[in-house]
């Protein structure tokens, strides 16, 4: 193999000097790393593959909507991602860590609102939110709870028990339970259920505000208006 002819004189160069990193470049790199990464997710029940070979990513400050008909596996995917169901195959990483619901760092980063949320029957609305906020070590929890009650429109119902609330108010309480705790990723299963048009507009504004604060959102939804208002992209699931 021929070689390049050697130069008679070689100029010595010192180490390349790099200027200071541009402001915001570190944040840009962080935003490019997926907050949630799912690879090859599968969930099998008997001989039936409800979900197979699913890949998806959610970056900080963005929202991804799972769409598709009932029975296509949207809720199954969310349960696998939140650790309430075990995938048959695949890998899930949250904030760079393999998903393990026993890991306190995972629990601290993940807020979930599924359709089957339970409430303590003997705790009032405000007592529920106080419990969530204090359990997660929120600073100035009382002020945050008051602000969230105002935001979700449950100030007048703050002293009521969950069983006395309307279905729409119970949905708002479920969402409030996620809003009063720290979170990096918010997972929602059809959050539009039982909300009227005013409630849907409020929810879209609230989720977009969370995105602006750098949170990631993964939601399953049938409401095209909410999807159009919030989601940066969609992942369609089909019957297998």
CATH number assigned to the domain comprising residue 34: 3.40.50.300
Report yes or no on 229 lying in a domain. Answer: yes
Range of the domain at 149: 25-236
Would you state the pLDDT for residue 142? 95
Find the angle CA(46)-CA(112)-CA(131) to the nearest 5 degrees: 130
Q: Is residue 51 part of a domain?
A: yes
Counted domains in the chain = 1
Q: Which residue has the tokens 């609102």?
A: 113
Backbone dihedral angles phi then psi of residue 86, each to the nearest 5 degrees = -105, 120
The answer to whether residue 220 is domain-embedded is: yes
Q: What is the pLDDT of residue 127?
A: 97
What is the DSSP secondary structure assignment for residue 13, as one 8-state letter? -
Give domain status of residue 127, yes or no.
Answer: yes
Q: Does 129 reside within a domain?
A: yes
Nearest to 227 by CA among 239, 215, 217, 212: 217
pLDDT at 191 over 50: yes
Please give the residue that has the higher pLDDT: either 44 or 23.
44
- Residue 7 forms part of a structural domain: no
In a domain, 12, yes or no: no
Number of H helices, E strands in the chain: 8, 9
The pLDDT value given to residue 238: 86
Tell me whether residue 185 is in a domain.
yes
User: pLDDT value at position 12?
Assistant: 44
Mean pLDDT of the chain: 88
**70-79: average pLDDT:** 94
Give the Å distances, CA to CA, from 62 to 19, 43, 155, 209, 232: 31, 26, 30, 11, 6
C-alpha pair distances (Å), 231 with each of 58, 63, 66, 208:
11, 5, 9, 9
State the pLDDT confidence band at 100, using cuts at 50, 70 and 90: confident
Q: What is the pLDDT of residue 3?
A: 40
3-state class (DSSP) for residue 126:
helix
């Amino acid at each position: 193999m021929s070689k390049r002819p050697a130069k008679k004189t070689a100029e010595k160069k010192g180490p390349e000097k790099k200027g200071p990193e541009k402001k915001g470049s570190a944040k840009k790199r962080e935003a490019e790393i997926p907050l949630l990464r799912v690879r090859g997710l599968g969930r099998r029940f008997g001989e039936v593959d409800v979900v197979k070979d699913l890949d998806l990513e959610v970056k900080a400050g963005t929202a991804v909507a799972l769409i598709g008909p009932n029975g296509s596996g949207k809720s199954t995917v969310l349960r696998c991602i939140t650790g309430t169901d075990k995938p048959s195959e695949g890998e899930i990483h949250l904030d760079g860590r393999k998903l393990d619901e026993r890991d306190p760092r995972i629990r601290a980063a993940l807020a979930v609102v599924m359709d089957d949320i339970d409430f303590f029957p003997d705790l009032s609305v405000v007592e529920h939110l106080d419990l969530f906020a204090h359990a997660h070590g929120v600073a100035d929890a009382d002020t945050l709870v008051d602000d969230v009650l105002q935001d979700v429109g449950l100030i007048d119902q703050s002293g009521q028990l969950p069983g006395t609330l309307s279905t729409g108010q119970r949905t708002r309480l479920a969402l409030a339970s996620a809003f009063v705790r720290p979170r990096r990723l918010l997972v929602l299963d059809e959050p539009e259920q039982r909300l009227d048009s005013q409630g849907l507009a409020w929810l879209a504004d609230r989720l977009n505000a969370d995105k602006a604060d750098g949170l990631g959102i993964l939601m399953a939804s049938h409401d095209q208006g909410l999807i159009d208002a919030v989601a940066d992209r969609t992942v369609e699931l089909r019957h297998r």
